[in-house]
Structures are given as structure tokens and as C-alpha cells.
Amino acid sequence: MIVIRAEQMSAFAAAHAAAFGRRVAESLCRHGCPAAVELGDDALRARVEIGLRRARAYGITWERSLAAFVAWMFWIGPDFDRHPVVRRILTAEEIAPDERVELLVGLVPATVWESAREQSDPAAWRDGDRDGDDGS
């Protein structure tokens, strides 16, 4: 019988998380995201990790949903989730967190995305440890 110790499971989980982060970063570059392409590898991976932490703070777990959240941080702005319309959906307790991400695609009009882009503060990348908390 094979026994996998807790520290081995932890190492597997860390390796999986790192590989996922690399795939997200590669996808951003492959799709020509200017905010990703202009960064070096280390800075890009650091920002992807900030994005993944912020997404997880909302309870998001599906890789597809995590990747979408991070992509919006790069395409719209690192604090897109602070826009009131977006925030309302991302914090709707009656909706499962990963389904909230799906709803953003269908419910948020282009004008809100543009507003979120205009209001975005690039300094939010440095504030990534706040995990989406705007203090309100």
C-alpha cells in the first residue's frame, strides 16, 4: 500500500498551483495582453499570483473562473473588482462564487467594463495583498 504523507500532498499542491499560474501567464501573453507582454517573467508571475489570491478571496476555485478573473485584472485594471456593479455580483452570497464569474460575462454591460477601466488605479498591483478589500 502506498502512503502519501501530508508534506508530499502539500508539495504536489504547490507544484500544481505554480504550473497553473504559469499557464495563466502564458495565456495572457499568447493572447497579446499588453499589460502582460510588457512585463518580465518574474513580474508577470508575481502579478498573476496577486490576481489568483484576489480571486480566491471571493471564494473562486474553478481554474476557468480564476483565469478569467486574472485576465480581467490585466485587460480592465488590477482593481476592476472594486467597481460597484462588479463588486455586487462578486459578493452575491446567494450565488456560488464560480458562478458569479460566469454571471459577470452576461450581466455586466460594456459601459461598466469601460468605467472600471477608467477608474482603475495601476497602484492596485502593489496593493495585491489586500485581496480585493477596498476598506468599505
136 in a structural domain: no
Domain that holds residue 18: 9-130
4 in a structural domain: no
Identify which has the larger pLDDT, 19 or 83: 83
Distance (Å, whole) CA 68 – CA 55: 9
Number of domains in the chain: 1
Name 34's Cβ contacts closer than 8 Å, sequence gap at least 6: none
114 in a structural domain: yes
79 in a structural domain: yes
Per-residue confidence band for 125, with pLDDT thresholds at 50, 70 and 90: confident
2 in a structural domain: no
- Tell me the average pLDDT of the chain: 87
pTM score, two decimals? 0.82
3 in a structural domain: no
37 in a structural domain: yes
